[in-house]
Amino acid sequence: MNKIKVFVSGAGGKMGKEVVRTVLNQQDMVLVGASDSRHQGKDVGELIGTRPLGIEVTGPLEAAYLKEAGADVMVDFTNPQSVLKNAKSALAAGVVPILGTTGLDENDIAEIRNLVDQTKVGAIIAPNFAIGAILMMRFAQEAAKYFPHVEIIEQHHDQKLDAPSGTALKTAEWISEVRKPMVQGHPNEYEKIKGSRGGDMEGIRIHSVRLPGFVAHQEVIFGGLGQALTIRHDAFSRESFMPGVMLAIRKASQVTKLIIGLENFLD
């Protein structure tokens, strides 16, 4: 059996370490390389607290590293400042990038799409790899057909750099597909402290919480006449994202265009 050759970018981060551990336990995958600017020169086994694995962590990702490793897939969990460059390096090397790092804007995504078209190498961007979170977004979209008054509260650890989260933005986007833009609340409401009502996307208020101890949590709150509906998803550990990451890795060989969202691989 030909195993899928996986390279992990951002291997020293919390998500990166979890991806490394999970890939090592898959019978149909093999870890061929890892990069992390903070842990350059270390053995990957040292990062995850196991015996040496004979794979040295490189510095900032370069296309040459991916080619040398013979990677099929590059999984990226770095930061918003690095993810676009890493995606471009992967595509230049003929490697499918799977991007779990959020923070890409519309121009970044357009640039990746153009490179995908030029190189004929696919790419996957997933705002959230938790399958439960995908279902939460689907259910919220369905509920919005009947409850147009809605706000989103997302809660993450205090080391997350971007706000709101990619999942919150995707949720608002899905809701906007079935709900006309509208102004919620009293027409004369005002903020005593700027930002108290959160961000505004198509009339949907989004609130971001950043506190230590959290991983990734989101609730979508709908209000109606005499009732309320709350749809909530909680990721209590980074293990919750791994089934989705492994699904994306296994689907990568079939991807020939830019795919945005893990929902594209769910039945």
Catalytic residues: 156, 160
Amino acid in the structure at residue 7: F
Residues 6+ apart with CB under 8 A from 235: 130, 132, 133, 215, 216, 217, 241
Provide the Cα torsion 17, 242, 95, 29; round to 10°.
90
Do residues 249 and 29 lie in contact, with contact meaning Cβ atoms separated by under 8 Å?
Answer: yes
The two beta strands, 123-125 and 96-99, are parallel
Backbone angles phi, psi at 63, to 5 degrees: -60, -35
| Helix ranges (DSSP H) in the chain | 14-24, 44-48, 63-69, 83-92, 106-119, 131-144, 166-178, 242-251
Backbone angles phi, psi at 121, to 5 degrees: -110, 130
Rounded Cα distance between 9 and 74, Å, is 7
Burial environment of residue 56 by CB neighbours within 10 A (0 to 12, 13 to 18, 19 or more): middle
- What tokens does 249 get? 């890795």
User: Half-sphere exposure of residue 188, counting CA atoms within 13 Å on the CB side?
Assistant: 0
Alpha carbon separation from 33 to 46, 69, 70, 181, 239 (Å, rounded)? 14, 6, 9, 46, 21
